[in-house]
Amino acid sequence: MFTGIVSDVGRLVSVQPIAAGQRSRIACSYDADGIEIGASIACGGVCHTVTAKGRDGEQNWFEVESAAETLKLTTVSNWKEGDRINLERSLAMGDELGGHLVLGHVDGKAQIIERTEHPDSVYLKFECAPEFARFIPKKGSVALDGTSLTVNEAEGNTFSVFLIPHTLSVTTWSDRQAGDDVNLEVDMMSRYVARLAEFSQ
């Protein structure tokens, strides 16, 4: 379980194919000694299990393996050496829930179709599949590349958000441009409400 509050921006050191899918090594500021093998870390919003960890000089790193289904549904298949990745370690009991409850189970991808710079914010408009759009209401929560964001407007298959300078400075969002795909996880509460509504009809 995560909150969508990015706690580090990692850098891909290596990406290589394996029989099960893909193995990636990610440099980070987390202390390698404090990372348990088998721990969950959201990488670009996708929950991954740590399979190895270590330190090269002063640089800490950990490795994850991505299965074929993950590669099919998310942007992980596009990862390459040098890319920056939003990271968040799993939520511990008693931690502050600063964003919203995020599972790290990405539903699919959304594409940035508009980016507009404002003096104190950046406006981003996205398009996604209808099957996901119905769970994204105006003023609701959505996780994009592992970042908990508030939906500004939602219409049809599109929705928009505003990013404040702080969010841009501590995540990879300053790198994102129109045409880029991002990982999308809809709010699980929206899913529960929709499912309950099906049985109440």
- Classify the phi-psi angles of 142: left when phi > 0, otherwise alpha if psi is within -120 to 50, otherwise beta: beta
For the question of residue 3 being annotated catalytic, the response is no
Q: How far apart are CA 25 and CA 28, in angstroms?
A: 10
Catalytic choice (49, 51, 116, 169):
49
Nearest to 11, CA basis, from 145, 148, 168, 172: 172
For the question of residue 49 being annotated catalytic, the response is yes
Cα 184 to the center of its chain, rounded Å: 7
Which pLDDT value is given to residue 161? 98
Catalytic choice (2, 62, 126, 132):
2
What φ, ψ does residue 200 adopt, rounded to 5°? -95, -5
For the question of residue 67 being annotated catalytic, the response is yes
For the question of residue 105 being annotated catalytic, the response is yes
Which pLDDT value is given to residue 200? 65
Q: Please give the DSSP secondary-structure letter assigned to residue 35.
A: P
Catalytic choice (27, 28, 42, 47):
47
For the question of residue 47 being annotated catalytic, the response is yes
Catalytic choice (14, 150, 169, 178):
150
Catalytic choice (20, 67, 68, 178):
67
For the question of residue 167 being annotated catalytic, the response is no
Q: How far apart are CA 75 and CA 68, in angstroms?
A: 12
For the question of residue 150 being annotated catalytic, the response is yes
Q: How far apart are CA 149 and CA 129, in angstroms?
A: 18
Amino acid 132 reads F
Residues 132 and 186: beta-carbon distance below 8 Å: yes
Residue 53 tokens read as 């960890």
- At a CB cut-off of 8 Å and minimum separation 6, what does 6 contact? 86, 87, 88, 146, 147, 170, 171
Helix (H, G, I), strand (E, B) or coil at 73: helix
Reading the chain (201 residues) residue by residue, the pLDDT tens digits are 899 999 999 999 999 999 999 999 999 999 999 999 999 999 999 999 999 999 999 999 999 999 999 999 999 999 999 999 999 999 876 677 777 889 999 999 999 999 999 999 999 999 999 999 999 999 999 999 999 999 999 999 999 999 999 999 999 999 999 999 999 999 887 776 776 676 766
Give the alpha-carbon dihedral of 176, 177, 182, 184, to 10 degrees.
100
